[in-house]
Amino acid sequence: MHSTKSVPLTSKNSPGSLKFLLLACRPKTLSASITPVVVGAALAYHLGFRVELGIFFCTLFSALLIQVGTNLFNDALDFEKGADSHTRLGPLRATHMGWFTARQVKGAAVFCFLIAAIVAVPLVLRGGWPIVIVGVVSFSLGYLYTGGPRPLAYTGLGDLFVILFFGVVAVMGTDYLLTNRWLPDAFVAGIEVGALATVLLAINNFRDMIPDRAIGKMTLPARFGAGFARGEIAALFGIAFGLLAYWPNERFLLLLFAPSLILALVVILRVARAEPSEQMNRLLHLAALAQMTFGGALAILLLCNRAVI
């Protein structure tokens, strides 16, 4: 087990500022919760339904808070389990850097979940028990991702969690709130968006596979190796772009996906030559940008092909 001692504080990493609180929320990853809500709303419009802005923004804010809370639990619990040690290769973490104590970070996570639940009250009134179930499961798994006796992230189930809850559930839930229907179109869009969100996790896990093995955090790359990780990332991109054939479109609209496709190819080619190192943090930013541009392009594609019902 690695040491769980935090990094000594310096003038560059001293706690107590809004900057460090924002960094603890991992703002560069928040596209994972924004994109599926935007796509779900665009799909509702595409299917001929009216997008109620109040419901849309409550859904968006609640999803963001659930992701931030999950990120904060992950920050504190990984530190307590020894996953964030002096060998850490990833971006800075609040607890590891000593900006906040693990107790403070977990308290902030609970606060985010509480506010998310309050914001979700109009969604429950609109969607009923299905939304209650989705919310309870989302909150529970947000904690169990790195908490509990068998954390999902430590057993190789983190990838499935992300593709389901930052993809299928988020898109289908948003669409249901705006249409009052569970539709196969939303499932397909959810798989696309979720696959791209999972790329972020796969890159993270590939980067950290060696120290993860040392502490028993058996992510998929830690279990199956670098070759599997490279293949997984390429396959996830392939799923997202391959499913574009499902959507009705005019050929010129496919040009909207050119930026995300270029970014995806860059990530795939660089991952193919990369070894686990800090340099993979740059690929995380490219992958996040690929997801955002893909989600934006898909939303525009759906908005430009509205059905008449």
Q: pLDDT (tens digit, 9 = 90+) per residue, 5-21?
A: 444 434 344 445 667 77
What's the pLDDT at 12?
A: 44
What span, in angstroms and rounded, lies between the C-alpha atoms of 61 and 56?
A: 9
pLDDT tens for 215-252 read 888 999 999 999 999 999 999 999 999 999 888 766 66
Report residue 29 as tokens.
Answer: 């990853």
- The whole-number average pLDDT for the span 271-290 is 88
Q: Which residues contact 52 (CB under 8 A, 6 or more apart)?
A: 178
How many whole angstroms separate alpha carbon 162 and alpha carbon 168? Answer: 9
Question: What CA–CA distances, in Å, run from 33 to 15, 28, 162?
Answer: 27, 11, 10
As given in the structure block, the two tokens for residue 47 are 């299917």
Task: Give the model's confidence band at 89: pLDDT under 50 very low, under 70 low, under 90 confident, else very high.
Answer: low
pTM, to two decimals: 0.85
Residues 6 or more apart whose CB falls under 8 angstroms from that of 53 comprise none
Do residues 102 and 95 lie in contact, with contact meaning Cβ atoms separated by under 8 Å? yes
Rounded alpha-carbon distances, angstroms, from residue 303 to 146, 173, 201, 296, 297: 37, 19, 29, 10, 10
The amino acid present at 127, given as its one-letter code, is G
| Average pLDDT score over residue span 92-106 | 77
Dihedral angle computed from the Cα positions of residues 125, 127, 129 and 135, in that order, rounded to the nearest 10 degrees: -90
Residue 52 or residue 83, greater confidence:
52
Looking at residue 6, its pLDDT comes to 42
Whose tokens are 């969607």? That residue is 127
CA angle 238, 269, 279 (to 5 degrees): 120
28 Cβ contact partners less than 8 Å away, ≥ 6 residues apart: 91, 284, 285, 288
For the residues 61-87, what does the mean pLDDT come to? 80
In the block, which residue shows the tokens 């525009």?
300
Residue from 98, 93, 91 nearest 204 by CA: 91
Q: What is the pLDDT of residues 181-203, one digit of tens each?
A: 998 999 999 999 999 999 999 99
User: What crossing angle do the helices spanning 226-242 and 258-273 adopt, rounded to 10°?
Assistant: 170
Residue located via tokens 């996570």: 109
- Angstrom CA distances, 19 to 70, 122, 158, stand at 19, 31, 28
Q: Please report which confidence band the pLDDT of residue 292 belongs to, taking 50, 70 and 90 as the band edges.
A: very high
Q: Which residues touch 134 (CB under 8 Å, ≥6 apart)?
A: 169, 173
Which tokens is 14 given? 């001293």
